[in-house]
Every structure is written in C-alpha cells, then in structure tokens.
Chain A
Amino acid sequence: MVDGFFITAIKGFALVNLLMGFFAIMTWVERRLIGRFQVRLGPNRVGPYGLLQPIADLGKLLRKQSVIPAGARPRLYLLAPFVSLTCAIGAFGLMPFGGVASVPGTDIDFHLYMADSNVALLFVAALGSLGFYGLLIGGWASGSKYSLLGGMRAIAQLVSYEVAFTLAVIGVVIHAGSLSFVDIVQQQSDWVWFIVPQFLGFVVFMIAAVAESNRPPFDLAEADGEVVAGYHTEYGGMRFAMFANAEFINAITLSALAAVLFLGGPSGPLLPGPLWMLLKAGFFLFIFIWLRATTPRVRFDQLMSLGWKVLLPAATLNLVVTAAFVVYG
C-alpha cells in the first residue's frame, strides 16, 4: 500500500462516494445539456435549476415494485446488474489525481491515487471487460427474446471494439515505456501531451471508447426501434438504474482514461491535480453527451465494419509508425 491501512480505507470510501456523487450530478448535467441541444429546458423543477432531480429519481426508483419475470432465472437475473456495476466502479480505482497531498492542518501525507500498479492499464481493460458479463448474464437470464438479442449484440459490439481500443492504446505505451498511470502522466509532463504524437491513436481510442461505453451513436445493444431496450428490457426500478449507472460510470472511466493517456491527466499549471482531472474528463464527457444529442444511430453492419475494417487497420498503422518513430526518431 502506498499509504497506511486507515488512510487507504478512507480514500477508497471517499473515491467510491465521489464517483457516485459525480455520476448523480452528471445525469442532471446530461439531461440539461440535451435539453439545450433540443431547444427545450430540461429538468428544472426539483430544487434550484433542477439540481435535486437525481435525488428525486433515486427515491422514485427505489420505491418501484420488484418484479422478477416469469421466464427468468431469478438468481442470475439479480446477479447481472451487480456484476455490471461492481466492475464499472472497480475499473475506476487506479485513476491518478495527482501526487502527494497532506491533510490540512496536520502533517499526515497521502497519495492522490489508490495504488500505483505497473499493469494499471491492463487492470482497467480487464475489469472493464469483466463488466461485459453483466450484460450477457442479464440478457440471457431475463427469459425474453429481446433481452437475449440485446445481450448478444452488446457482446459482439464490445469485443469488436475492445480489439481496436486496446490496440490504439499501445502507441501510448510505446512512448511511455510503462503501463503505470503515474509513469504515463510523469512522461507527459516531462515531454509533451501524448495527444500530439498520438493523434491517430487518440481518434481511434475515442471512437472505440464511445462504442465500449455503449453510448449513442453506437448504442445498438439497446436500440429501442429494434430490440426494445436490449439486455435490460425486463429490468425495472433500481435494477434498471444499476445498468444505466454502470454504463455512465464506464463513460466516466473512459473519459478519465482519455485524460490520463492523452491529455496529461492531473498535471497542469496553477490548479491542483484533481481539478485538472475533473476539467479534462469533463471535456470528454461533454463530447460524449454532444455526440448523443447530434448523431443518429448507426446500423449494426456499419458498426461492425467500422470496428474491424477501419479502426483495426488504423490502430495497427499507428502502432507501427509509433514504433518506427520511437526507435529511429
């Protein structure tokens, strides 16, 4: 552990709660922004500017009747949202928010990250991929054909883009010579933000990230005109909200990952590290929301051919060029 047990426990508790709180605020931000994009107001009734809307939603979702469909396998049906949400929150764990800070008024120092692992990047990819099981289990265990179709679609889409996603990141790894987020951030503040030498990798990464987090225009797994609501057709109330929560937290994790890998993460002048992370990740989240508001959903064959025929060769080209640049440049 980089800090003592008690500090680590407090940090873990705080990080989980901050993440959930940030998610709650972002649902409000997303709905307000989409409202603006569509020339309407968005939620503005509950509390000032509608800011208490997430709390009202939570209360409503918690009171929904807990229905388990007749054809479902009950235990797996209940397990699915749990798997999704746990993995989504877990994947955020290694994000760095800066170096060493101290508790105000004391001389207790602590690090602004949970842990510095030399396989941090693989860990995020691994836990993110484990979360896919939640969608597959949920789709299969619901006992409905739309759920099953949605679940299968989700998996086909996620594994296809996982290939382009992991390949696009290798360019950054070659430049940094490390998989640790702390090292990657350090390299960028020593040299230059990796978005400059890795622009192609960044573009592939962002497209794949939108597909990985199952958000429009790549939300084929829950295309309401085709498969009702996809894998969460049979889910209601809090359990549906857990899937939505996991999906949005994945988007937050990918935004934070994009900030760390390409925009120098928590490093920056004047402002403290966590604030820089918030600004950079918030910028990417805004792009996610913007895409949702302005792009129509793609067709499934278009989605697959974009992943396999465009992004994969582009990421491979980026990899070889980067390697040549690092070795001969």
Chain B
Amino acid sequence: MLGDWASLLIYLLFAALVAGTLLFASVALGTRGRREGRQKAYSFESGVSVGSFAPSNFSINYYLTAMLFIVFDIEIVYLYPLAVILEPLGVFGFVELCVFVAVLGLGYVYIWRKGALEWK
C-alpha cells in the first residue's frame, strides 16, 4: 500500500534515531556543573544582565516577505505539474504557461512599484 514510501519511512526512522541519540547524549553525557549557578543560565548579553525578555513587535518587512513567499510559492507549485507534462501538451501548454507567467509578472511589477521588495 505504501509502496516506495515504506522504504523512505524506514530511512526517516533512522534519521530521527540519529538525531534523537545525539540529543539524548547531549543531556546524558554532559558533565555536571559543580554549582548550578543562576549566572550561567542567563542568556547572552556580553556579560551585562538582560532583565526580562519577551518577543514583542517585529519589523513589518518580515510579515511582508512571508506574504510574498506564500503568493509566489503557490504559483510555483502550480507550475510543477504543468512543467512535467509540457512536452506532450505542446503549443497549448506553452500558451497556457505564458498566460500564467504574464499574470504572475503583472503582480510582480505591481509589488515592485509599490516598494514591497525594498528592505527598510
């Protein structure tokens, strides 16, 4: 039923096993500190104490990049099946592809001129 994916699952199992073993070993084999001081557990700030830290507001650019990624990646996912059967489809497939890329290009020009591609 699983076909070829069964052998891949076996492989992934070994991959997870290696990663899991290393993670377990990092906890189990590490030397014990002589004193469990608080200072050592503070996060890095060049020796200055950090105080409290909470993830807060973030630059809008990251959200913008994520949205652009979703738009373009979904377009590309649509292109994959077309690419596989492009040769048998012939001229019809090529015209189809050109229309698709043209629409994509329109959106691309729009976001460029809106300045969405500038990192501020």
On A, residues with C-beta under 8 Å from B are: 1-3, 8-9, 11-13, 15-16, 20, 62-72, 78, 81-82, 85-86, 89-90, 93-94, 114-117, 122-123, 140, 142-148, 152, 155-156, 159-160, 162-163, 166-167, 170, 173-174, 177-179, 228, 233-234, 237-239, 241-242, 245, 300-301, 304-305, 308-309, 312-313, 316, 319-320, 323-324, 326-328
Contact = CB atoms under 8 A, between A and B. Distances in A.
A311 B80 CA distance: 18
Q: 3 closest A-B pairs (Cβ-Cβ)?
A: A238-B26, A144-B43, A115-B4
A62 B61 CA distance: 39
Interface of B: 3-8, 10-20, 22-23, 25-27, 29-33, 38, 40-45, 50, 52-53, 55, 58, 61-62, 65-66, 68-69, 72-73, 76, 79-80, 83-88, 90-91, 93-94, 97-98, 101, 104-105, 108, 112, 117-119
B46 to A, nearest CB: 9
Given A316-B104, A319-B101, A115 B19 contact: no
Nearest to A4: B7
A173 B91 CA distance: 17
A324 B80 CA distance: 16
A305 B5 CA distance: 39
A89 B18 contact: yes
Contact of A8 (B7, B55, B61): B7
Nearest to A166: B76
B40 to A, nearest CB: 6
Contact of A86 (B16, B87, B118): B16
A8 B8 CA distance: 9
Contacts of A327: 86-87, 90-91, 93-94
A179 B65 contact: no
Given A159-B65, A242-B23, A90 B12 contact: yes
Given A67-B41, A228-B44, A309-B117, A114 B8 contact: yes
Label chain B's interface by main secondary structure: helix
Nearest to B40: A67
Contacts of A143: 43, 53
B33 to A, nearest CB: 5
A85 B93 contact: no
A123 to B, nearest CB: 8
A115 B12 contact: no
A66 B87 contact: no
Contact of B76 (A15, A145, A163, A308): A163
Given A144-B43, A162-B73, A320-B101, A177 B85 contact: yes
A323 B52 CA distance: 56
Nearest to B86: A174
Given A89-B19, A142-B43, A327-B94, 15 more contacts: A12-B14, A13-B14, A72-B43, A85-B22, A86-B16, A86-B19, A94-B8, A114-B11, A117-B4, A163-B72, A170-B80, A242-B26, A301-B119, A309-B117, A323-B86
A68 B41 contact: yes
Contacts of B32: 65
